[in-house]
A and B are shown apart, each in its own frame.
Chain A
Amino acid sequence: MMQTLKAVLAAAVVAVGVAAPAIAEDPVKVGFIYVGPANDGGWSQHHHEAAMKMKEHFGDAVEVVEQESVPEGADAERVMTQMALSGVDLIFTTSFGYMDPTINVAKKFPNVKFEHATGFKTAPNVSVYSARFYEGRAVTGYIAGAMTKTNKIGYIASFPIPEVIRGINSTHIHAKKANPDVTLNVIWLYTWFDPGKEADATQAMLDQGVDVILAHTDSTAPLATLEKQGGYGFGQAADMIEFAPEPRLSSIIDEWAPYYIERVQAVMDGTWESVNTWYGITEGMVGIGEFSEVIPEDVRAEAAKMRDDIASGAYHPFTGPLNKQDGTPWLAEGEVADDGTLAGMTFYVEGIEGDVPN
């Protein structure tokens, strides 16, 4: 329904564009595929908003086509093929599970350019881009460790992929820095978006005595549940400021717009190349939301310092000494994790209970 409406609107825009003789060149057609609804309040909405900012930046020079709530898997391939056939020049596929479909479709359309978010497979016409969310997780993990009264914090995880496992590890390491007695509970939901299940998982954690919860899913349901039942949480992907000052303590904000503008510009200039982009706080792709006033002054200062040190490069969230979960040494004193290991991270660091699902 929404898609149809947007398509009609887009068609109307095209019709108007054709009617006006002022436009000399064909606009660049840019496609976006989202895993959830474009107003989920989190991940997909932020991609959508960035797409809109990009559109605003270029005006009539680009035409944006969007598809929301596209399931990961065969359906995604169908949607991408449709976009490619309809003359889209550049397609952003914005969820990890679109990785193989993107590669498959890209093979069939060598002239169409693809940008896959959070994946690791590239091709001559496929770039990957992601943000170093683990840098943000360091800051929120530190705050979580400082704010828990029960010494139990929880992590609502989606799928056992490196990005999520990095987030869990970074959260745990920095929560421990703030509070050595803290333990981290992880619940795997195997979905990016299911508000009912996210709320149930939040409730299950609260029932277990967890009082600060970090979410790695896309909706605002965990915060809505915390607001009702008590406890603290964080904005994820979006600022989720409507839940401040309680239960939202801070947030990790994804800033995709500058990247989208840069890449679309590259297509316009004919300079587009397959790249592997991994930006963090330094480049502004990861933003840290305002600290809530319920966080004590000293914790806020410490968290701000951590954020600034990560931005300046003075501190890396994965700095040794760190051991893997089974006790084998991973990083020696002062050693910093390399990007290759981080990109393919499938292990927990020492101190986290439970196993990483396969």
Chain B
Amino acid sequence: MGAISIELLLASLMVASTPILLAAIGELVVEKSGVLNLGVEGMMITGAICGFAVAVETGSPFLGFVGAALGGATLSVIFAVLTQYLLSNQVATGLALTLFGLGFSALIGQGYVGIKPPAIGSVNLGILSDIPFVGPVLFSHDVTVYVALALVAAVWAFLKFSRAGLILRAVGESHEAAHALGYKVVRIRFLAILFGGACAGLGGAYLSLVRVPQWTEGMTAGAGWIALALVVFGAWKPWRVLLGAYLFGGVTVLQLNLQAAGLKVPVELLSMSPYLITILVLVIMSADRRRAALNAPAALGRVFHAST
């Protein structure tokens, strides 16, 4: 058996986890505001093609990511209008959004199959990248990886320390009370949904511009659903979502590396290990039922209608 390089493993873990991390952190904010958007997969794939198309047309990966965020956010507007103004069922609307996104992206993507996107370089972090072990693992990635990490920190700080974050949480816990206090529940949720859409779009674009890099119809292949599960896994806490994303991404990459290294472990076991370990951690973390239940936003998925 060949040895597995921990250095390379950790480095590819960060790349493999970034799409689901971006989508999950956006969905976390949406759910914290009391809205359940099951359309993450649809917004991700829309972001993947929008980002790819913009990057190819302009030659700039940066503009590609901007386009992806806009694309994801635009798709989420449909969801926001339907659920916030027309008071449609959030679960059904979210599912419809996924189906629509998959088809819509396929339609836009017709002309982009088999095209190469412009390359996105690694950030030059100077001597940091030259530190043995730590350099290649932490400081040799493209800028999106760091943006995703910064986003996790920003969301954490926003929810924990800022007044706006407190209001968002209040809306998610009890929209009636927040409304009585004079907060614009619908407007706040609308913005949260937009943010979630933009993040999912970025996650999708990371897949089509960096991780694979190419456009293929249906290329998210369920990543959006994993992102949704990660939010629950992380108990609606940003750092736990990060942990969950790295754990899931890490075990996925690890099992592929173990196979490549020819480790004598049944392949079936390796293939299901990411899911097994995720379930296992979920069981352990939800062992204390009172605490686990406390973390879910109380108004999650409930329709709000200001009657007066």
A residues contacting B by CB (< 8 A) are: 1-5, 36-41, 69, 154, 160, 185-191, 193-197, 199-201, 203-205, 207-210, 219-221, 224-225, 227-228, 242, 353-355, 357-358
Contact = CB atoms under 8 A, between A and B. Distances in A.
A5 B100 CA distance: 13
Given A200-B16, A221-B219, A224-B212, 20 more contacts: A1-B103, A1-B104, A4-B103, A39-B216, A39-B217, A40-B217, A187-B259, A188-B267, A188-B271, A189-B271, A195-B216, A195-B221, A196-B212, A197-B252, A207-B4, A207-B257, A208-B4, A210-B260, A224-B214, A355-B266
Interface of B: 2, 4-5, 8-9, 12, 15-16, 19, 99-100, 102-104, 106-107, 109-110, 113-114, 116, 119, 207, 211-214, 216-223, 252-253, 256-257, 259-262, 264, 266-268, 271
Contacts of A204: 12, 253, 256-257, 259-260
B262 A354 contact: yes
Contact of B116 (A221, A227, A355): A227
Given A200-B12, A207-B12, A224-B214, A185 B266 contact: no
Contact of B107 (A1, A38, A194, A228): A1
Contacts of B212: 195-196, 199, 221, 224-225
Contact of A357 (B207, B217, B256, B268): B268
A194 B211 CA distance: 12
A135 B16 CA distance: 35
5 contacts: A1-B102, A193-B218, A193-B221, A208-B261, A355-B267
**Which 9 pairs of residues, A with B, have the shortest CB-CB distance?**
A1-B103, A37-B217, A204-B256, A194-B221, A357-B267, A207-B8, A224-B214, A187-B259, A208-B260
Contacts of B19: 196
Contact of B211 (A188, A199, A220, A354): A199
B218 A36 contact: yes
A2 B107 CA distance: 7
A200 B106 contact: no
B262 A207 contact: no
B268 A154 contact: no
A185 to B, nearest CB: 5
Contact of A196 (B102, B211, B260): B211
A5 B15 CA distance: 36
A187 B207 contact: no
A354 B8 CA distance: 23
B253 A185 contact: no
Contacts of B222: 194
Given A1-B100, A41-B114, A199-B211, A186 B259 contact: yes
A224 B256 contact: no
Given A186-B259, A220-B214, A196 B266 contact: no
A220 B216 contact: yes
B132 to A, nearest CB: 17
B207 A41 contact: no
Given A1-B100, A204-B253, A225-B212, A154 B16 contact: no
B179 to A, nearest CB: 37
A6 to B, nearest CB: 11
B110 A39 contact: yes
A4 B223 CA distance: 24
B221 A201 contact: no
Contact of B216 (A40, A205, A207, A242): A40
Contact of A37 (B104, B214, B218): B218
B155 to A, nearest CB: 24
Contact of B223 (A39, A196, A210, A221): A196
A207 B259 contact: no
B256 A187 contact: yes
A187 B260 contact: yes
A205 B260 contact: yes
A209 B2 contact: yes
A197 B268 contact: no
Contact of A219 (B106, B211, B216, B256): B216
Contacts of A160: 267
B256 A196 contact: no
A242 B214 CA distance: 12
Contacts of B260: 154, 185, 187, 201, 204-205, 207-208, 210
A41 B113 contact: yes
A38 to B, nearest CB: 8
A224 B217 contact: no
A224 B221 contact: no
Contact of B114 (A154, A187, A193, A242): A242
Interface centre among B4, B107, B253, B260 (most CB of A within 10 A): B260
A307 B218 CA distance: 35
